[in-house]
Chain A
Amino acid sequence: MNIDYSKELPIVQGRLSLGELEDLIAKPMSEKPTPKYYIALAITLTLLMIGATSLGFTFYYGTGLWGNNQPVGWAFDIVNFVFWVGIGHAGTLISAILFLLRQKWRTAIARFAEAMTIFAVMCAGIFPAIHTGRPWLDGWLLPYPNQHGLWVNFTSPLLWDVFAVSTYFTVSAVFWYIGLIPDFAVMRDRTTGKVKKFIYSLFSLGWRHSHRNWQHYEKSYVILAGFATPLVLSVHTIVSFDFAVSIIPGWHTTIFPPYFVAGAIFSGFAMVVTVLVFVRKVFDLENIITIDHLEKMNKVILATGMMVGYAYAMEFFIAWYSGVQFETFVFINRAFGPYAWAYWIMVSCNVIFPQFFWFKKLRRSIPVMMVIVIFVNVGMWFERFVITVTSLHRDFLPSSWGYYVPTIYDFGILIGSFGLFFTLVLLFVKAMPVVAISEIKAVADGAQPTHHGGDH
């Protein structure tokens, strides 16, 4: 094949005009939901109710309903937390890091990925909150002057987590909202319904597409992207500190921060692809979210999957090279002990299956990528399970060894978090533009002046 690599592929295919782009993206919001939409919503709400019921039982009877035991005091609650925070990282990577790297193809998927970030962090936030056992007292996690006369312990990684995750959520939400302001203005000016107009006006804050505003707006976008980039790296680094700062063999390793960040991007991209494949099909966005974009995401999945695979190998190498008896034991136990099944699910899903993405044909095939990204999602959930549970269940003292079996409530809450996530995704796609309208207009062919400067 003869491909000209000197020229960038067009971001928007099908030679759509600016108005046509806008109509296409705004269509789901102006149409009444179809029965299919309600069926999908019913399914996700059912999942959400399963989770809510399990949580209700947990609140009433306490965390004793979970399978957590001695020595496995951290189990599904922490596994799910790390899993969901990781999912969120893809959105910030796409919206901030790829923006700073001038990857224009990010425009088509950034809005959606950012929304997924926010929803995923919401799902993630549930777990440490309920993990405390008495979630109604979670306000105690914040440093505020209280009558106990106590402060939080600022040297604890668990507290860093409180700051990291709450900052991450706030900044992601603000970043997302800033991107939405011009789009709310677009929706305000094209809608005919009175209620819709009121709501869109309210959220558009009176945006007038004035270039005197665009100037500051673009500046703020760069600033926010500049902050979000180290922030997203710091969040999963701090999540990994929850483990790495302890002294449990299998946790106490310096490779954890980069390893966790790579894993987070890996799992997040897989989740974005999973959902986008449906969204572009259902809402006829194939010309905006093109197969080229999906292919690029699959390349990122391949690269980060290899990083994760490297980390798995390096953990084993260091365990052997350090000569520490306990460390060596933990890793042999991981691969061949009672939780070997979980370990090999993780390795096959995360390291072996993404290798198919070396082939361009498979990378661009929707069914193939669908299967692989779902494997990656499963594998990354198991990675957190392996790290958390297998390290805990056999530590220094053989007399305190144990085995962890999750209960129906553990599964119920996990299912509920998926229900929450997909419910929010479904509501989002009908209420807000899934593609940034003003951004996609700016990168369409012929949208920028022809004779100005040499940089475009």
Chain B
Amino acid sequence: MERNTKLHGLVALFDTPDQIIHAAEKVSHSGYKDFDVHTPYPVHGMDDAMKLKPSKLGYVTLVFGLSGAAFALLLMWWTMVVDYPMNIGGKPFFSLPAFIPVTFELTVLFATLATVIGMITFFFRFPDNKHPLHDTPYMQAVSRDKYGVFIGASDPKFDVKEVRALFESLGGKKISEIMEIEKTWQDAFNPKFIGILVTTAILVSGGTYFALNKLLYITPFNWMEHQFRGVPQEKSDFFADSRMMREPVAGTVARGHMPYEFKDSVAQPADPVENPLVNSPEIFKLGQKKYLTFCSPCHGDYGDGDSRLNQQFPNPPSLHTTKLRDWKDGNIYHVITNGQNVMPSYSHQMTVKERWAVVSYIRALQKAKNASETEIEQFRKENTSNGN
């Protein structure tokens, strides 16, 4: 640290606590205001000797301690009573006994932190490592085992000769002049300093971003999870009827729900609908399943009209009559969809695809029941893998 020629003050060292008390009394008595005493530990009776007023630090503690208590109670009241009241065993939302521990802890926390931070920054004006008294033999001596007095050059009564004479009369040793330190601003532009600053900024902001965003889900970082969008069952300010859910456009048909053309006609249509399905093992499987579920109770497992309901109910017809075999697929579909005589409509039990699959399956049953010998031979030849 560079020192200039401007005088900061004069210092003197003493050997015993008695001497320093005496010196402090004399200096304050002589009317100096800008003076100080430096001792390696607090010497009893020095407050009176220096004529210091009692420390006002306690007021900081009082104000912040009360603020801590008020903050704690308000926070708990607002969260537990106003913002998110929770019924816990029917107890009152504002249950003061349960709030005491946190109130106490926050009172202590606020009071102590404010006392310490207030003392260091406001009362001490620290950090101050560039004070003229630092790095002097005087400071090293009072740091160890000597007791020192300092009178500042800024005191209106200050006069180098007078002060020196006063120190000498008190028995002070190593009386010396302390020069001011040259104040420079270049430290702020030191590349090392700037580098540390930037690194710290990146680390702190990155860490904060990670902590807030990934761990705490704090509000500003919500990954766009809150968006302006329509939520079902919620109120809408946009639509006239205030409902977020909308009706479909008139005439909309849902996929797989194309209405049946001859829905209202009891009689068979002259020009029945074509079977849209292409036969495949999957279609026959589906048809078989639906047939055995919905058709077989009356028409029998193989369409012979011989189920156990026979003779207990108007006898269901066989599906192997010439009339049915001559029917087009659309005619059978029409009966399944609309019903016929005592047979009800199955349009609610089966989808369009399932109904057509049943038609295909009935066609397979008809083919199987009424096959000619040559057709059977043909089938056997094609499927000889299972023996004969």
* Residue ID in chain B nearest A23 by CB atoms: B144
Q: How far is the CA of A164 from the CA of B105 in the complex (A)?
A: 6
Which of B132-140, B262-270, B293-301, B338-346 lies at the interface? B132-140
A221-264 vs B, Cβ < 8 Å mask (1 yes, 0 no): 00110011011001000100100000000000000000000000
Alpha-carbon distance A153/B89, docked complex (angstroms): 13
- The answer to whether A359 has its CB under 8 Å from any CB of chain B is no
Complex formed: what's the CA distance from A451 to B22 in Å? Answer: 11
Tell me the B131-164 residues at the A interface (CB within 8 Å): 131, 133-134, 139-140, 142-145
Task: Give the contact stretch, choosing among A109-117, A139-147, A372-380, A422-430.
Answer: A139-147
* A367 located at the interface, meaning its Cβ lies under 8 Å from any Cβ of chain B in the complex: no
Residues of chain A within 8 A (CB-CB) of B38 are 208-211
CB–CB B108/A167 < 8 A = yes
Q: Which of B56-99 contact A (CB under 8 A)?
A: 57-58, 61, 75-76, 79-80, 83-84, 86, 88, 91, 95, 98-99
How many angstroms between the C-alpha atoms of A448 and B17 in the bound complex?
6
Q: How large is the interface on B (under 10, 10 to 19, 20 to 34, 35 or more residues)?
A: 35 or more
Known A215-B55, A447-B17; contact A189-B144, beta-carbon cutoff 8 A: yes
Given known pairs A147-B219, A155-B80, the reply for A167 and B47 (CB within 8 Å) is no
- Contact flags (1/0) for B16-52 with A, using CB distance below 8 Å? 1110010010000000000011111111111100101
* Interface of B: prevailing SS: helix
A163 near B: Cβ within 8 Å?
A: yes
Residues of A within 8 A of B88 (CB): 153, 155
Tell which of B44, B111, B139 touches A448, judged by Cβ atoms closer than 8 Å.
B44
Q: Determine which of B57, B86, B104, B124 lies in contact with A223 in the assembled complex, contact meaning CB atoms within 8 Å.
A: B57
Please tell me if the beta carbons of B79 and A154 are within 8 angstroms of each other in the complex: yes
| Contact call B40/A441, Cβ cutoff below 8 A | yes
Total residues of chain A contacting the partner, CB 8 A: 79
Complex alpha-carbon distance, A147 and B213, angstroms: 10
Query: Does B252 reach chain A (CB closer than 8 Å)?
Result: no
When the two chains form the complex, which single residue of A144, A206, A234 contacts B128, counting CB atoms closer than 8 Å?
Answer: A206
* Interface assignment of A17: CB less than 8 Å from any CB of chain B: yes
A-B contact pairs, 9 of them (CB 8 A): A154-B102, A155-B88, A160-B101, A170-B112, A171-B108, A189-B143, A216-B124, A230-B108, A451-B18
Name A residues whose Cβ lies closer than 8 Å to a Cβ of B: 17-19, 22, 136-137, 139-140, 143-155, 157, 159-160, 163-164, 167, 170-171, 174-175, 178, 182, 185-186, 188-190, 201-202, 204-220, 223-224, 227-228, 230-231, 234, 238, 241, 438-439, 441-442, 446-453, 456
Given A155-B95, A234-B101, 4 more A-B residue pairs with CB atoms under 8 Å apart are A167-B108, A208-B139, A215-B55, A227-B112
